[in-house]
Amino acid sequence: MPSDRRPARGRTSIRKSAKTRGGRERPGPDPERHTALNPSRELRATLDRFGLRPQKSRGQNFLVDPFALGQILEAAELSPDDEVLEIGPGLGVLTKALAERVRRVVAVEIDRGMVGALTDALADRPNVEIVEGDALRLDPVEQFEVRPYKIVANLPYYITSPLLRHYFESSNRPTRMVVMVQLEVAERIVAEPGDLSLLAVSVQFYGRPRLVGRVPANAFLPAPKVDSAMLAIDVRPSPAVDVEPEQFFKVVTAGFAMPRKQLHNALPQKMWMPPDAAEPALRAAGIDPMRRAQTLTLDEWAGLTRELAGRGLL
């Protein structure tokens, strides 16, 4: 979330490597240093000219670090024929760079004031289409029909989970997503069994996420209170496991609703089943009833879903 303190001047870094608590690679210090913008006179001048101020309620933190922008573009693996959906373009710094590299950019911005500034800034970019509206209500089929597209976004922290789910469940899912999210959220998304969450299972069901790099708070204007991370997600052509998604997420959601409880206790309390029905179903699926939700793999969740469905418990 934004704070009122000025971003630190001087040098910042995209950090890579270092281990997380789950044993995965966590972005750590990068020996290659770089210089942040100072903190963007151009951006401040544009805000002043249009009478705009970043809105905390909308999580508006503008990325002003050129090295981080370059990392986003590299992670997106863009080609001249690509179409890109950019969510929350703000004042168009990333939008301009995307427009130089791809055939078409659809930039979705909910803030009417920002739309005016964005339209002015991108007047000379005929391959950019600005859509004023809520990205959570946008149907990608209306913009891209059945054509492939990529998503690039600096996401407000508070809409990360619903936005990812919205596009994963679209009838035309993106082929790749490169998103800036809160560091802690990124680490949860790439977690492995033993440290999984409902968010991690949801993302890994539809895609293969990986951390690209850590971005310090002073790479943004205004600076948020926490560091961010770039996350690249290669979206699967079909879900990771062959199971009906609605049933799958009904079971997973019930399991994670009480993550500290063992599954044989958690499932009956959140699903319509007799108290003694969960344990035999878990055993039949090859799962120790005393395990907890965060330890199950996607394959185990799928097996449990099939077992419960076969017993008429879904």
Q: Could you write out the DSSP letters of every residue in 160-204?
A: HHHHHHHHHTSSS--SEEEEEEEHHHHHHHT--TTS--HHHHHHH
What CA–CA distance (Å, rounded) separates 158 from 59?
8
Strands (E), the chain: 11-12, 34-35, 62-63, 83-87, 104-109, 128-132, 150-154, 176-182, 207-215, 220-221, 228-235
> In the prediction, which pLDDT does 61 show?
80
Domains in the chain (CATH in brackets) are: 11-235 (3.40.50.150), 245-310 (1.10.8.100)
Pairing between β-strand 62-63 and β-strand 220-221 as defined by DSSP bridges:
antiparallel
* Among 83, 68, 75, 65, CA closest to 178: 75
Give me the pLDDT at residue 9, please: 36
Q: What pLDDT is stored for residue 56 in this prediction?
A: 67
- Collapse the DSSP code of 74 into the 3-class scheme (helix H, G, I; strand E, B; otherwise coil) and give the result: helix
What are the tens digits of pLDDT across the range 68-97? 999 999 999 999 999 999 999 988 889 999
Nearest Cα to 190, choosing from 1, 69, 21? 21
Q: Please state, in angstroms and rounded to a whole number, the distance separating the CA atoms of residues 26 and 133.
A: 35
Residue type, 222: P
* C-alpha span between 184 and 60 (Å, rounded): 19
Start-to-end CA span in the chain (Å): 39
What integer is the mean pLDDT of 49-66?
Answer: 73
> For 243-255, what is each residue's pLDDT tens digit?
999 999 999 999 9
Helix (H, G, I), strand (E, B) or coil at 285: coil
pLDDT at 31: 34
Query: What whole-number distance in Å separates Cα of residue 241 and Cα of residue 84?
Result: 27
For residues 21 and 14, the answer to whether their CB atoms sit within 8 Å is no
Strand order in the sheet with 176-182: 128-132, 104-109, 83-87, 150-154, 176-182, 228-235, 207-215
Radius of gyration of the chain (CA): 21
- With a pLDDT cut of 90, the percent of the chain lying above it is 68
**For the segment 132-173, what is each residue's pLDDT rounded down to a tens digit?**
999 999 999 999 999 999 999 988 778 899 999 999 999 999
Largest CA distance in the chain: 67
The answer to whether 276 and 291 have CB atoms below 8 angstroms apart is: no
